[in-house]
Structure 1
């Protein structure tokens, strides 16, 4: 017996709760677009905060969809498009308007490379997801995930905000940094998948205290905390690299 509510034409009806994951994705898209607008207006700190908000929503919508059993093909494609906008387009444009507008063209080339690498990575993920290959190790991603790539590419901005200064690195260095982060997303470098991490029950209380401390630091000293998070993430990549020279395909 079909327990799903349907209308008079027999079409399945969804509750507002079931639509909540897609609503979060739409809000994330609005955050990314508004971040671009804030960047064009010179409000760079607000723009970065909106991208961070989009990253938080990106981490919530998929898990919420699975918890509510409301996963759909449309939701998956919407999430992928949101990722490209929020983590492939918006960060590069922010860096360009922040520091690279006077770079005589090579800054814009770096933005294009970063965006293309992001969309290639997302396309690779979509193909692998549809192939339903269950043989890979979910403990690892292949290449740097696009949200992490967005955070890393904005690291010079975090440093600048923490030091209360303007762009302090040469344009060429910023452009090279953007290209390197883009290439890391489409690389075969194995990166740690935090979603599969298991915490021993005896250590759970210490983990929760650590999370509370990290959140308090992020609220009190936001930019320096983000710098430390980025450095810690790069350190995990370096540590994991010799252990697995090649990881199986994943996102």
Structure 2
């Protein structure tokens, strides 16, 4: 083999090695971007009226510049401490927060599912994280101690606007045929769900679902719940039109004070 042939062979081998290295890098899995807000822990998922619940959550700036985040904690439980924050976050920076909430009153023998809601506005975008907590009224057995009685397996659905765009953060009230009420909140995809558990069985028959949110008219829908099935419902919220303003008449402008 001549010297020129050896050089060509060496160059070809180098190209093959380089191509192989490039393919190996391209095949490596991409790291998923962190969520803007995520709930890390909740001190209790089953509580009695007026008991406190501690929630820890994390907020991350996944943008390319520093931003001030507006953080609000709420939902079906009353927020007592750590309810609002406005941290300034560098690109890629995360911060952990703690909040304390108080469970509301519940009627005797009833269990109500309520969401803890953490909302974050960052770089003009709204993000939400939710965690369900069950409030057991006097005489109601805590969830998980026994199998649920025969009834509807659950109620799920979606909340959207007239253009079918998802609406997150809408408050949902579900009322079954026995008069029991359950509350939850739609997620960022507009979806919501509650399930039957021990002490909070959803009764068969007519189920009414009501959705409310600031800036929209209240929407209601009624579905039929059957034992062992999941009842599904779709609600459409119509935006409340902004009030129209009228310009003052020439007569009103020419007042004695103006003269």
TM-score (norm 2): 0.28
* Greater Rg over alpha carbons, structure: 2
TM-score (norm 1): 0.29
Higher strand share: 2
Higher helix share: 1
